[in-house]
Structures are given as C-alpha cells and as structure tokens.
Structure 1
Amino acid sequence: MARRPLLLLEKTVTKSAPPPLMISRFDCERLEALLETPIARGLDTQALQAELERAEIVEPAKMPADVITMNSTARFLDENSGEERAMTLVFPRDADGSADKVSILAPVGSALLGLRIGDSIQWPIPGGRTISLRVLSIQYQPEAAGDYTR
C-alpha cells in the first residue's frame, strides 16, 4: 500500500481568527480566581473565559517581552483615526475610569490580553462602528521588569 505524502499546513491569522495567545501562569491563576468573585459573576465574562481556555500558559520568567500581560502598558494605534495612545491592562480594583486604564473584565480588556507587538484587534462599539487597534510597543511589562508580583 502506497503511503500518501504528509502535507504541512501553515497556520495563518486572519481578521476572523484570533491571534495566538500566551498568558503567564501567575496571571492565569489570578484571573481564574477573579472569575470566581462576586464582581465578575455579575458580568458577561465569557470572552475572558474563552481566552483563558485557548491560551498557552508560560512561566513568568519565560514570558516574551513583546506580549501584553496584566499590568502591562502598551502603545496602540487606532487604525480608524490614526491616533496613538497608551493603555494599561489592569485588574478591576485598579481601574479608575480613565481612558488609559482598561479593566480585564471590560470586553476590550480581555481582547488585549496576550496580544503581541504588531497584532491588531477589532471590536464593536455603540453606534454600530468597529474600532481597530494595533499594538505598536510595550512600554512596561511586569515580567520583563522582573516584577512577578504585580
């Protein structure tokens, strides 16, 4: 019986497929605990739960410096307006309502987790529009700074 040749398929990320996701073990543990709290139970956390389920979990010391983790500050380009801005991905207790701090429990917060420099995300906003953000740089990442408790 003749053997068929193996075909190697290249994995590509399209606009409809989410980019690969990497999360530190510490962040994963803290986020799973957060999902069990009363504050999270009253919200739609399905997107965050789905992200955690599909994520590759790595030790904090092995986290690449170009990945958005909890408490990371990243610079983004709004591809619709051309505006650049910095945002920090935070736990709900640290979200103060300012535009530069995004709670992980907000829909955009769970979408930012695990993105890498160069990745883009799109999400709908009220009024039927969609915003597209591209990660330009990571200004601060706790793991890269050796701050594993933040």
Structure 2
Amino acid sequence: MNKTNRKSKREIVLPPITVKEDEARRLNALASSSATLFPRVAHFLAQEMERASVVADNCELRGVVRMGSQVRFCDDRTGEVRDVVLVYPHEADITLKRVSVLTPVGAALIGLSVGQAIEFQTPADHKRSLTVLGVSN
C-alpha cells in the first residue's frame, strides 16, 4: 500500500453543506461562546461553518437540514433510523427528540441535503456515519 492510499483511509471526506447567512452567523457565535465548555464539538461546529456554502437568508433551501428542521437519518453502522428536530442548545430535549446543534450528531447534520452522508468522530473517538433520509423545514 502506498502513502496516498494509507492517507486517504484515515481522512474523513466531508460532503458539501449549505447554510443561510443568519444561521451561519448565529452558529459561529455559538461555537465561539461554547469553546471552553464543549471544546471538541464547538471546534467541529466551527469547522462545519467554515466550509459551508453560505447563501442569502431569502434563498429557499428545500431538503437541506437547517435549525428547526425535522430530520430523518440513518446510522450507517447500526442501520437505526431516527427522527429528530435540530435545535439550539436551550431548546434541546432528547425525550421530545429535539437534538442540539451543539452535539456531535447535531453539528454533523447541519447543512446536509437529503441523500448525503457524513462521517465524524464521537467524543469517545469512534467514527460514526449518518445518512440524511428526509428533511422538513
């Protein structure tokens, strides 16, 4: 195996994501203000906002995970399908299936489109992969 193959096996390839201007601004501020309390997920969220395609607030984004979206996704390892609503931390309530964007799953889902998959690290340093099956805004 050559160096290129070894390197590509370790790298996580991230899909393109799209976020509206106001959400990008709010999520960048959230990542900054949470960096001390939740350094890993705040850093992940900040990286996601850095690489996102940011569009005007009046742009219609169908099938794209946004704040407040109801999202159906599949855990690619277990095959488990979950339905959640992506929310800001103060609105999170796992019993109501309201997942904070300041969790690894929430930060991974933001900006994805239906059919896209993303691989990310969990706090326990495991790789996890999710595929978006449906989005309603």
Match of 1:42 among 30, 34, 37: 37
Runs of 4+ that moved beyond 6 A: none
Q: CA RMSD in A?
A: 2.3
> Is contact 2:104-2:122 (8 Å) kept?
no
Which residue of the partner structure matches residue 98 of structure 2? 101
Which residue of the partner structure matches residue 71 of structure 1? 68
Match of 1:133 among 125, 130, 133: 130
- Between the aligned residues of both structures, percent identity stands at 35
Over 3 Å counting, the alpha-carbon distance change for 1:66 and 1:90 in structure 2 is same
Q: How many angstroms does 1:125 deviate by?
A: 4.5
TM-score (norm: length of structure 1): 0.71
- Could you give the per-residue CA deviations for residues 74-94 of structure 1, whole angstroms, max 9, x where no partner exists? 111222333221111110000
Find the aligned partners of 2:21 and 2:65 in 1 and give their Cα distance. 14
Which residue of the partner structure matches residue 55 of structure 2? 58
Aligned residues: 125
SS in 2 for 1:81: coil
TM-score (norm: length of structure 2): 0.77
Match of 1:31 among 6, 11, 27: 27
Find the aligned partners of 2:53 and 2:112 in 1 and give their Cα distance. 12
- Could you give the per-residue CA deviations for residues 15-51 of structure 1, whole angstroms, max 9, x where no partner exists? 83100111101101211232343x5531111111111
State which structure, 1 or 2, has the greater radius of gyration over its C-alpha atoms.
1
> Is contact 1:40-1:105 (8 Å) kept?
no
Find the aligned partners of 1:69 and 1:20 in 2 and give their Cα distance. 14
Which residue of the partner structure matches residue 89 of structure 1? 86
